Structure 1
Amino acid sequence: MALGDAPVTDLSQRHIASMLRARPGHRAALQGFLSFVAAEGGPRLTIAKPRQDPIAQEQRLRADIRACRKRLKSPRTVAEARALIASLIAKVYAIPLTRVLNLRRAEIAPGPTLWPDAEAIRLAEPLASAVSRWMVSTGDFAFPGRHGHQPLSETAVRYQLSLKSHLLDRRPVRLSSL
């Protein structure tokens, strides 16, 4: 469905939908064009958000969890291990990552159980053993930031999870070296 020589005022939602089906990579550029058309007095058209396939979303989540669990078997640094644990807790238990990162040591009961006074989320194995192994911290936060007086940030977690194996040496960290 082409607009051809017709004026821009004849542009419709059907034209937009057809164009996005043919060229889905042009979504960002098309949004700017539609804003320009609307500002110049043309039709106010919108781009519908693409529907997320729930099955594909679930498969991606499972793949992410598997990848994090595999990396947690031999992390390169303590920071990477803590970032993986925080990410896994957030993904497995569907808790916002910021809430997990703001978790205080006092909110972890033996077992380990997170937030025992509120929801009481009991961690299952192998995540429970990873928490007991890597959460050796004396600060106030379960996931301390660089200096310990603030929690780890989402940006720091993203950075740790994005590091490639060729950037760092693959020797696992020993707890005795801490």
Structure 2
Amino acid sequence: MVKKVLIPLIATLMVTFTVNAAPLLTGDQVERVIKTLEQLDPIMEKMEEDLDKSGESDNDPLDPQMLHKEFAMLYGYSPQAKEIIEANGFSENTWPDTAGRVVKAFATIAMEGDTELGMEQLQTSIAQIDADPNLNPEQKKMLKDQIISSMNNAKAIMKAPKEDVEVVRPYFDKLATTME
């Protein structure tokens, strides 16, 4: 009886995990994202200016879908942007996901070296809260908890899968130059 239930359950779980697993990121994809971003640089600057002027920019760094949304918006920004993205082998569906994964892995690698700096900034912020005579102990505790929670959320959101990080790592310097 147990075998009759267990075997179909395991088979179903294996199919579910296989279907939901993202395909592995490849070096070719990373190279094409870099090339695309280089070609899109003037368009991205213009888009950023337009969004700032219109007030439509809602970059929420704690939104786990932020990168996907930004790259999807870039795809639809202009016919020229769409043409460049498609000329590099991406589509409306593949561009936001692939570019988002590459940039997220890049950010994860960049944060590896900034852990101490982040901790220093966190400690400085907490010290400023502790030193503020206008805050009562409850307010201080609430503010410190919010800062720590926000930092932990940001780290979790920007942490890419290990497999993506390893594929992107050899391209880190080139990406850093491209993203300046």
TM-score by shorter chain over 0.5: no
| Bigger relative contact order (CA 8 A; separation at least 6) | 2
Structure with the greater alpha carbon radius of gyration: 1
* Structure number having the greater helix percentage: 2
TM-score (norm 1): 0.30
User: TM-score by structure 2 length?
Assistant: 0.30
